[in-house]
Amino acid sequence: MALILHDRVKETTTTTGTGTLDLAGATGGFKSFVAGIGTTNRTYYAIVGRTTTEFEVGVGVVTDASPDTLSRERVISSSNSNNLVSFSAGTKDVFCTLPAAKEGLPFPVIFGSASAPQVITVTVGAKTTLNPYYGQGSSNCYYFNGLEAPILDLGGVDTGYKYYYRFDQSDSSNSGHPLRFYTSESQSQEYTTGASNTGSSPAPGSSGAYTQIAVSETTSKTFVYGCSSHANMGNHLVVPSSIQYPFDLAVGDDLTVTGDADVAGDLSITGSGKFKMPTNTANKILVADGTSFEEVDMSGDATIASGGALTLANSGVSAASYTSSNITVDAKGRVTAASSGTAGASAGFVIAMSVAL
């Protein structure tokens, strides 16, 4: 069972009430739901009364039968306050559509400011089998603008001018389901960077309740929205512009960083890979300054080659063997001068002669 959209799918129905529709066949120039969507598949539908103001937009399942049918699983919007419409007698047009709510969800081009955040209406309802966490955790999930637990892309590229997204939990179905952000699906660690909420005043399910997040390039690349009281009610949030990776990053080719790169965990280079500094010339070393490492030129009494060989500077003393040496040592213990002394009787010889005499 898949969610399918198809162009020019339109039929009529004379079904009344709130139940499954009996479809009466495609209208001229259009396809039937079975032909365009396929039996057992889901689709977005719209039902419009020809002689009334009744309408309904939602998600339903197509069944190849006699007659073909379309169930009404989930209402997104309707003339009955976004609930199932009890359709009156008469002919209704039924067609495949793309709900405005779907396009109203945030994409990277949609953003809001601190004073006028992008508002996403949150409700809570039963999971369908399309949900990746169907059968896991809670039997309920969040619906954003009427869509079931979607993955959202959030914009935000400037730490000075963040994009604000507000998840409005005013609907009564949110009672007991505080929406929070987490670093992973396990919900073992809450993600709080840029996040805020109204807490218990007002609590979810009450007018004015919301959870909000301010997004920038330093927001985590991916994180999760979920219920603080129940498992697996949400899904992932993705920030395409983020430079913060909460997971291992495998790079098969060269990785070039033109600005600062913050690494919270270990940085491992395996195989024949190399870590190259911005100025990857010889005679460079990494020096810590208390907050970061920077490459600097080696100077003083040693140099280092690109292959790693360390060469000590000459001390000014010629390599040789010295006898009766006169040696000069500086405060660092380096031999700075050496010469052979004047030949003469050794101390041992002088002592031996004194004893003999």
pLDDT of residue 260: 66
Q: Six-digit token pair at 288?
A: 């810590």
Beta-carbon contacts of 277 under 8 Å, excluding residues fewer than 6 positions away, are: 284, 286, 295
CA atoms within 13 A of residue 146's CA, in its CB half-sphere: 21
Residue 244 pLDDT more than 60?
yes
**What is the rounded CA–CA span in Å between residue 135 and residue 141?**
11
* Contact by Cβ (8 Å): 224, 236: yes
Q: What pLDDT score was predicted for residue 351? A: 53
- Percent of the chain exceeding pLDDT 70 equals 81
Helix (H, G, I), strand (E, B) or coil at 35: helix
Average pLDDT over residues 269-274: 66
Q: Pairing between strand 140-144 and 147-148?
A: antiparallel
Q: Please say if the pLDDT value at position 68 is more than 90.
A: yes
User: 213 burial class (0-12, 13-18, 19+ CB within 10 angstroms)?
Assistant: buried
Q: What is the 3-state secondary structure (H, E, C) of 312-354?
A: ECCCCCCCCCCCCEEEEECCCCCEEEEEECCCCCCHHHHHHHH
Q: Which residue has the higher pLDDT, 195 or 276?
A: 195
Q: Domain boundaries in the chain?
A: 10-99, 104-238
Angle at 132 between CA 130 and CA 135, to 5 degrees: 90
Q: CATH number of 104-238: 1.10.3470, 2.40.50, 1.10.760, 2.60.40? A: 2.60.40
Q: Which helix (H) or strand (E) holds 100?
A: helix 100-103
Rounded CA gap, 312 and 296, in Å?
18
pTM for this structure? Answer: 0.57
Give the closest residue to 118 by CA, choosing from 146, 151, 149, 156: 156
pLDDT given at position 187: 94
Nearest to 62 by CA among 26, 114, 17, 108: 26
* Dist. CA 285–CA 277, nearest whole Å: 9
For residue 162, the one-letter residue type is K
C-alpha pair distances (Å), 116 with each of 66, 88, 111, 214: 51, 41, 9, 12
Mean pLDDT of 66-83: 95
Comparing 123-132, 254-263, 333-342, the range with the smallest average pLDDT is 254-263
Of 145, 154, 134, the closest CA to residue 221 belongs to 154
pLDDT of residue 36: 93
Q: Would you say residue 53 has pLDDT above 90?
A: yes
